[in-house]
Amino acid sequence: MHQTLSSRSAILAPFACRPEESRGRLYPEPESPTRSPFQRDRDRIIHSAAFRRLQYKTQVFVYHEGENFRTRLTHSLEVSQIARSIARVLGLEEDMAESLALAHDLGHTPFGHAGEDALQDVLSAHGGFDHNAQSLRVVTKLERRYVEFDGLNLTWETLEGLVKHNGPLTGPLAKPCEDPLPGAITEYVTRHDLELDTFASAEAQAAALSDDIAYNNHDIDDGLRAGLFTIKDLEDVPLVGPVFHAVAKEYPDADVSLHIHEAVRRMIGMMILDCIEETQSRIAQFKPKSADEVRSLKMPLVSFSDKMRANDAALKKFLFPNMYRHFTVNRMTSKGRRVVKDLYNLLFAEPGCLPPEWRRLTDGAGTAKTARVVGDYIAGMTDRFALDEHRRLFDMQEKP
């Protein structure tokens, strides 16, 4: 095993996270004879119940609206593929980048951001709800697969990347935010300091940028196929419009569906290449010699160029009203919010309606502890289970 780790580390960049230099796990465990610490993290994430449930959790469209639309699971796999591609070229630790890509959405609720907004509303008096903090809660507490500890007992590096993939959470480099730091994060770091005032590793930064690349491009794909907007509507969007125009000019007789595939493929490639070139420029500028030097920089090491960041912002500006706030999506997300709030209000007031393994964790109706247990229960639901549970609790014709 040591020979394997040494040979793998020899091809890593000096600023990559090295498995043999990992800061370890909260609960010490013997090392695997066949896998590195980051490979074990990846495998534990893949084998978790929370990861399997992503198959039936909304990305934009609720699961029953069409089998070809992205779900949280397929999105996570696509992010993973992009993250590994970027990590390989930059000499980063691929297994760690993959672990973070696969874990980044584990805390998402049913019905996408509509479910998160609903839980934030009903839990506002009890610490609120944040899907990033919930991802940490899932991997450190809610997954129960091991006799000796709750959670997955992931390495410090993976937990740090999961929490800080969008940048520092405290200190002068943190993005301004009116909301207090989520309780799940503040509670955990009292036992296991994740150094919230620095940037995360280059691997975590690559995974975060891969998330943007994946969902922007695949939301274009899904939005076009759902008929929420047309290729003509995209013609004035920077990067996107010119790419579709070039594809149509090059393949005028091809089916429109092939134009979409080709354009999305090209845009993903262009964004990946821009990320690699900009990051290589920053590597040449800062010359980081270790993963800790990457963390201590005053700006991200892995980044888009200014031009691509502007293109990314323009695309988001288009997608927000034309897809995420399209009236058909609004109608479905409105239903999702009502389902989540109905479930919470009933179970918070009547925790005796919870399944026994969850009811045992509560301490009576209307308490802060019960609020968090009910929030965890609902956040872990798939779209399908939430709809079924709603029928079981509110429809007299349904069996309990």
- State how far Cα 11 lies from the chain centre: 28
The per-residue b/e assignment along 257-285, b for 16 or more CB within 10 angstroms, e otherwise, is: eebbebbbebbbebbbebbbebbeebbee
Reading the block at residue 144, the tokens are 């129960």
The pLDDT, as a whole number, for residue 65 is 47
Q: Give pLDDT, residue 60.
A: 61
Give the per-residue pLDDT at 289.
97
Distance CA 105, CA 103 (A): 6
Tokens of 248: 């149509």
d(CA 83, CA 96): 10
User: What span, in angstroms and rounded, lies between the C-alpha atoms of 229 and 150?
Assistant: 45
pLDDT of residue 112: 87
How is residue 176 annotated by DSSP?
A: P
> Are the beta carbons of 58 and 112 closer than 8 angstroms?
yes
Residues in the chain: 400
Q: What is the pLDDT of residue 397?
A: 78
Strand-pair partners of 155: 25
Q: How high is the pLDDT of residue 10?
A: 61
Q: In 3-state terms, what secondary structure has residue 155?
A: strand
What tokens appear for 132 in the block? 């990033």
User: Tokens 């929370």, residue?
Assistant: 50
CA distances from 216 to 59, 191, 302, 323, 335 (A): 12, 36, 18, 11, 24
Q: Do the Cβ atoms of 91 and 12 come closer than 8 Å? A: yes
The predicted structure's pLDDT at residue 4: 54
The one-letter amino acid code at 190 reads T
What is the gyration radius of the CA atoms in the chain, in angstroms? Answer: 22
* Local confidence pLDDT in tens for the 400 residues of the chain: 444 555 566 689 999 999 999 999 999 999 999 999 999 999 999 999 999 999 988 766 444 444 566 788 999 999 999 999 999 999 999 999 999 999 999 999 999 889 999 999 999 999 999 999 999 999 999 999 999 999 999 999 999 999 998 899 999 999 887 678 998 999 999 999 999 999 999 999 999 999 999 999 999 998 998 889 999 999 999 999 999 999 999 999 999 999 999 999 999 999 999 999 999 999 999 999 999 999 999 999 999 999 999 999 999 999 999 988 888 888 888 999 999 999 999 999 999 999 999 999 999 999 999 999 999 999 999 999 999 999 999 988 777 7
Rounded CA separation 228/323 (Å): 6
φ and ψ of 71, to 5 deg: -115, 175
State the DSSP string of 66-104.
Answer: -TTS-BHHHHHHHHHHHHHHHHHHHT--HHHHHHHHHHT
DSSP 58: B
CA–CA gap between residue 126 and residue 223 (Å, rounded): 36
φ, ψ of residue 155 in degrees (nearest 5):
-65, 160
Q: What is the rounded distance in angstroms from the CA atom of residue 80 to the CA atom of residue 97?
A: 7
